[in-house]
Structure 1
Amino acid sequence: MISLPEIQERYQEWSREREEPVLINYGKEAYRFSWSHTFGGAEVYRIEKKNNRYSATVKIYVSAFGTYEDSLVHSSEKWISEATWIEITEGLNENSFWTYPPTIERRGLDGAVWSLEGYNPTKNKCTRQNYHNIGRWSPIDSIFVSMCDLFMNLKER
């Protein structure tokens, strides 16, 4: 689905606006959870493996009342422990991240858009893919929410 030109264009525009890398062919293992509310505000959490070390990037955006323009209010990049990396990546694997349905039929007004994506230079054995993206509108699926929650603790680490 991400290969459709109009979706790919929106994805690349989102990446430029958030100053985030495009993960489709990233080249190194990385995972990202992003959350964006209908009325403004967003959070982006990315972990990646860099030369056998692990980093986490956290970005928090807010929007001024009555506008749809988000402003970056917090940005941090820090090294995380191998244990934290393993906790997140094993949590994703235990919940079948790589084979999880990319979309479902659930839409609405208001609410929030949740996106979870990953890239691994080694193709997944089941899907034979390097990249996977899961998107939901105001999810009620507890498995998907638990995968996203793995990233939320990065604010405190």
Structure 2
Amino acid sequence: MFKHSAALSISIVLIIVSVWAVVITGQKRYFPTGALDPNSPGSDDFANRWYSEQLEAMSEPVLRPVASSRAYRFTWLRTFNHPVAIRIVIAKGRCVLHATELDGAGGYAPGKIYRRKLEAIAPEGCTKVEGLIKESGFWSLPPRGNIKGADGSEWIVEGAASHYHVVSRWTPGSGPIRAIGEQFLDLAGWRYPAREMY
């Protein structure tokens, strides 16, 4: 009786510790280990926790390759402005746009849902985005750029087609990730003042 009771108590303690550890470390990681910064485990883990917290607050799914579909997501985390994620899913000849903006700040607490958009997109709109992604060389770009900073923004583009790839750039003034991000914003029809386009 005592052995059974002790074993049950130990099992309960282990379950509680496991749940507590999940709460402390975050319930969901959106990016495979090493995908964001393969050369720096510490930086990779930090970025994964940061980006994942924002995406989880938006109720966004983890992107993975799925047969007969393609998905792309642009996540825009500005230090002092609302976090934004815009995702398109192409499957069965349809293209659907999912866009979410939170009322917090990309460099601080994510906040709550500020606005959402869910709508079917004309095929030519998605074709244009996919064309830009292909022409930009996105699938072969290194995950991390060389420029980092304290105040600015992360422009993160993910693709899940035959395989998964993610690229992030810090406050890009130009280049492929900037162009892809702007194309996603145009597709969503969301406009921002010039001072917030960093």
TM-score w.r.t. length of structure 1: 0.80
1:5-44 pair list within 5 angstroms? 6=45, 10=49, 12-27=52-67, 28-44=69-85
Which of structures 1 and 2 has the larger relative contact order (alpha carbons within 8 angstroms, sep 6+)? Answer: 1
Higher relative strand content = 1
Check whether the contact 2:58–2:102 (CA below 8 A) recurs between aligned residues. Answer: no
Q: 1:133 to 1:9 in 2, by over 3 A?
A: closer
2:101 alignment counterpart = 60
SS in 2 for 1:88: helix
- For residues 111 and 78 of structure 2, the distance between their equivalents in structure 1, rounded to whole angstroms, comes to 10
1:134 alignment counterpart = 167
Q: Which runs of 5+ in 1 are unaligned?
A: 123-129
- Paired residue type of 2:102: Y
Q: Which runs of 5+ in 2 are unaligned?
A: 1-30, 35-40, 191-198
2:183 alignment counterpart = 150
Q: Per-residue displacement from partner, 1:85-109 (whole Å, max 9, x unpaired)?
A: 1000011101111011210221111
- Larger Rg over CA atoms: 2
1:25 deviates by 4.1
Aligned length: 147
Percent of pairs identical after alignment? 26
Check whether the contact 1:36–1:42 (CA below 8 A) recurs between aligned residues. Answer: yes
- Paired residue type of 2:95: Y
1:109 alignment counterpart = 150
Q: 1:69 to 1:7 in 2, by over 3 A?
A: closer
C-alpha RMSD of the superposition: 2.6
2:28 corresponds to 1:3: no
Check whether the contact 1:40–1:70 (CA below 8 A) recurs between aligned residues. Answer: no
Q: 2:111 aligns with which of 67, 70, 75?
A: 70
Deviates more, 1:101-110 or 1:24-33: 24-33
1:62 deviates by 2.1
- Paired residue type of 1:152: L
Check whether the contact 2:97–2:119 (CA below 8 A) recurs between aligned residues. Answer: yes
- Paired residue type of 2:189: E
Higher relative helix content = 2
2:124 alignment counterpart = 83
Check whether the contact 2:54–2:83 (CA below 8 A) recurs between aligned residues. Answer: no
2:21 alignment counterpart = none
- Paired residue type of 2:98: T
1:26 deviates by 4.8
SS in 1 for 2:179: helix
